[in-house]
Amino acid sequence: MTDPAAETASPPLGVPGAGVWIVLPTYDEAENVEPMIAAVLEVLPAATILVVDDDSPDGTGRLADKRAAADPRVRVLHRTVKQGLGRAYLDGFGVAIDGGARTIVQMDADFSHDPGALPALVGPIDEGAADLVIGSRYTPGGAVTDWGLGRRIVSRGGSLFARIVLGLGQKDLTGGFKAWHADTLAAVPFEGVHAGGYVFQIEMTFRASRAGARIREIPITFQDRRVGHSKMSRRIVVEALVVVVQLRAEELAGRLGRIRLGP
């Protein structure tokens, strides 16, 4: 196992990817992990890539270890218990923050998120114009390819439901291609995040918004994974609906409690 906290010399500012950490959760992504690492480093050569592997049976973690042994820009965090996408991201975020990241990117390892869009995603963070940038499929200029009608309805419907219930203005709340200013991410209390699956994306944007983060959406084209199978399930969709309502209920309960306490 490589040591995610091992110190390396910081690349000079101005080199594409300097201070940027890319967090890549993986589970059975053996066919994708090495090409994805290469594609990311092609556009952001000074970035640090942290692969967070959930003990993949197909050997994804071993392949990542091999790449990390040959390239100090690649690190691997092995998790022995599969706890869901959200927990994998939180563990990876913690390592990136402790490692001195200035910008932290979260993205899928299956090429549904185009590595070529990374410079546009991290640009507003680098320029000081945003605290969170969402790669949006549903803002003008964004698109989705290779999806059937049912999956499109679930994705758009989930974002619309969350926007209405939580009072958020962002159009794509279920997407997972995001860039965070490290200070903004560090201010989110990870111990309070109770979403273990894809609803994690909604919850983190909700928490950042309520904390006053400047959130920007940039258009992306989302493509279905190149190889392997989607990990979306009916259980994940139901979880999203339940957690969104729970977040709103908790917020309203907190407001009511403050009113009762009075000045």
**What is the residue whose two structure tokens read 């185009």?**
114
Q: What was the pLDDT predicted at 5?
A: 42
Cβ 43 vs Cβ 125: under 8 Å: no
| Low-confidence spans in the chain with pLDDT less than 70 | 1-14, 195-197, 225-234, 258, 260-263
List Cα–Cα distances, 225 to 26, 112, 154, 162, 230, in angstroms.
13, 5, 17, 25, 7
Region of 41 (left: φ > 0; alpha: ψ -120 to 50; beta: rest) is alpha
Q: 20-261 adopts what CATH topology?
A: Spore Coat Polysaccharide Biosynthesis Protein SpsA; Chain A (3.90.550)
Q: How many angstroms separate the CA atoms of 43 and 41, rounded?
A: 5
- Report the Cα–Cα distance between both ends of the chain, in Å, rounded: 54
Per the DSSP assignment, residues forming a β-bridge with 178 are 106, 134
Q: How many angstroms separate the CA atoms of 210 and 204, rounded?
A: 10
Q: How many angstroms separate the CA atoms of 243 and 115, rounded?
A: 30
Q: How many angstroms separate the CA atoms of 14 and 36, rounded?
A: 23
Q: What was the pLDDT predicted at 6?
A: 43
**pTM confidence score:** 0.87
